[in-house]
């Protein structure tokens, strides 16, 4: 079956006028459920893509599928003609299975297994390096590889410290590595960095491009011919953060250091930018416990709610990646109880399985629903079998006009079709679910 038919079988098409709020209402109306639901709106992903093309016209998006590899999202990005950032043979095989041209794939793993290097050689994939040992491994197992050097940009605000795990130091170490690559005869064709997490300060992109220019000049002095630059990921995916804030700094950097007439291919690896806002978690409360003050039992100190979804499901990032949650109470304000200190627990026996602590919330009851926006990135992909609970269940919708647009993409130039879409031109905003 072709991608379009497979995708069609996974989703429900709704009229353009159906709002996100109405979709949540529909799911809630089904009543308490065993698993939490991931309301997935493909429209949101398509709008994100449209905004990317509009604001960053020189940069080809290579979707980082690790952020969310749900079939419906991956298939939509295939129809849109995205490229891919893959870090494992599993991800590579998945994408190559769609017959994506290896030119549209970056095997972005700086510490590869020998088996994956041999696979990359067979498929003629580009890859990256950031250390002497990796260069020697590439030299031994895939000497004809085209590779990019990954350098790091140290940013104080990155709580995940991605800058420390991968990437060489950009001034001295990167030059020594290029010297070695020259000696080994490895074809280095460009550079990459990954700011990671949600890059809070967009100026980091400008700094990275500037550093990349210095490195390019050095490489060209050694006789390398650079033609690929890769700006990595780290673009916020939340509905209320627009791509403008990055585009301004990036376009300024590119115009200054890599103007269009020089003909470099420029890519970036957005993950959460594409996936986060597309998913709204709709989670029923299935248990509740009032915690009373020891001295004064009349006083309620905290309310514990138990959900069938926690850090082993949707909320790993909320707990451990500093994302936090903004719960939306899904019932009319007239039915809210008094505001109390509140803690949200996941279902497992693990005491650390909570994802909000001591927040102020109106009191709710068992079988009420709480809704969390922007839960599409680094959520369900983290879910595991611990304690036998179900992973969150995706329920996917698309508006009629967007579906028609996806149908068209399978017959022509996807980028043109998206850019020329009158529907997207008029509907590129995002509906927020929070009640005012
Ligand atoms: C995870 C990752 C990305 C995507 O990061 P986001 O913050 O989701 O945009 C891009 N590139 C590399 C190398 C990564 O490891």
pLDDT digit string, tens, across residues 82-124? 999 999 999 999 999 999 999 999 999 999 999 999 999 999 9
pLDDT the model gives residue 155: 65
Is it the case that residue 162 has pLDDT exceeding 60? no
Pocket test for ligand 1, best of 63, 65, 67, 276 (most atoms within 8 A of CB): 67
Is it the case that residue 295 has pLDDT exceeding 60? yes
Q: CB neighbours of 10 closer than 8 A, spacing ≥ 6?
A: 71, 72, 75, 396
- 70-103 burial: b if 16+ Cβ within 10 Å, else e: bebbbbbbbbbbbbbbbbebebbebbbeeebeee
Angle, helices 172-184/132-141, rounded to nearest 10 degrees: 20
**CA dist., res. 114 & res. 127, Å (int):** 13
**CA angle (140, 146, 152) in 5-degree steps:** 95
CA of 232 to the centre of ligand 1 (A): 6
233 CB within 6 A, ligand 1: yes
Task: From the CA of 270, give the closest atom in ligand 1.
Answer: 9
Contact 61, 93 (CB under 8 A): no
pLDDT band at 410 (very low <50, low <70, confident <90, very high): confident
- The helix/strand/coil state of 14 is strand
Whole-angstrom CA distances from 254 to 191, 216, 419 are: 14, 13, 22
- 349 tagged catalytic: yes
Least Cα distance to 375 among 14, 41, 152, 88 occurs for 41
User: For the segment 203-220, what is each residue's pLDDT rounded down to a tens digit?
Assistant: 999 999 999 999 999 999
Pick the more confident residue, 367 or 410. Answer: 367
pTM: 0.96
pLDDT band at 32 (very low <50, low <70, confident <90, very high): confident
Whole-angstrom CA distances from 149 to 64, 85, 286, 400 are: 18, 15, 50, 43
158 CB within 6 A, ligand 1: no
pLDDT the model gives residue 363: 97
376 CB within 6 A, ligand 1: no
Provide long-range contacts, Cβ within 8 A and 24+ apart, for 401-404.
401/16, 401/427, 402/42, 402/43, 402/46, 403/13
272 CB within 6 A, ligand 1: yes
């Amino acid at each position: 079956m072709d991608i379009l038919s497979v995708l069609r079988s996974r989703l429900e098409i709704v009229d353009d006028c159906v709002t996100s709020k109405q979709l949540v209402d529909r799911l809630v109306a089904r009543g308490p459920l065993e698993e939490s639901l991931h309301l997935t709106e493909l429209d949101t992903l398509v709008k994100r893509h449209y905004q990317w093309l509009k604001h960053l016209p020189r940069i080809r998006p290579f979707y980082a599928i690790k952020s969310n590899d749900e079939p419906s999202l991956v298939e939509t990005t295939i129809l849109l003609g995205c490229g891919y950032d893959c870090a494992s043979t599993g991800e590579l095989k998945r994408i190559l299975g769609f017959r994506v041209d290896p030119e549209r794939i970056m095997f972005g793993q700086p510490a590869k297994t020998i088996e994956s290097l041999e696979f990359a050689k067979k498929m003629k994939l580009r890859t990256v390096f950031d250390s002497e040992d990796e260069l020697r491994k590439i030299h031994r197992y895939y000497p004809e590889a085209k590779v990019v050097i990954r350098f790091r940009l140290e940013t104080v605000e990155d709580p995940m410290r991605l800058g420390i795990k991968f990437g060489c130091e950009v001034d001295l170490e990167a030059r020594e590595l290029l010297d070695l690559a020259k000696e080994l005869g490895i074809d280095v064709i460009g550079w990459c960095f990954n700011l990671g997490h949600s890059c809070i300060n967009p100026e980091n992109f400008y700094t990275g491009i500037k550093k990349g220019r210095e490195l390019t000049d050095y490489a060209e002095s050694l006789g390398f011919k650079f033609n690929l630059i890769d700006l990595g990921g780290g673009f916020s995916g939340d509905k209320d953060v627009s791509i403008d804030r990055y585009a301004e700094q990036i376009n300024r950097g590119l115009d200054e250091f890599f103007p269009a007439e020089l003909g470099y291919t420029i890519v970036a690896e957005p993950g959460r930018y594409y996936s986060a806002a597309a998913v709204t978690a709709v989670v029923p409360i299935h248990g509740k416990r009032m915690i009373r003050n020891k001295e004064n039992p009349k006083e309620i100190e905290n309310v514990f709610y138990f959900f069938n979804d926690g850090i082993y499901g949707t909320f790993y990032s909320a707990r451990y990646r500093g994302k936090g949650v903004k719960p939306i109470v899904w019932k009319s304000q007239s039915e809210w109880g008094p505001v109390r200190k509140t803690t949200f627990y996941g279902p497992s026996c693990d005491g650390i399985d909570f994802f909000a602590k001591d927040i102020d919330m109106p009191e709710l009851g068992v079988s009420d629903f709480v809704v969390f926006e922007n839960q599409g990135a680094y959520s369900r992909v983290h879910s595991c079998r611990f304690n036998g609970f179900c992973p969150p269940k995706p329920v996917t919708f698309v508006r009629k006009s967007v579906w028609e647009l996806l149908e068209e993409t399978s017959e022509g130039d996807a980028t043109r079709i998206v850019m020329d879409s009158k529907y997207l031109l008029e509907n590129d905003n995002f509906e927020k679910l929070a009640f005012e």
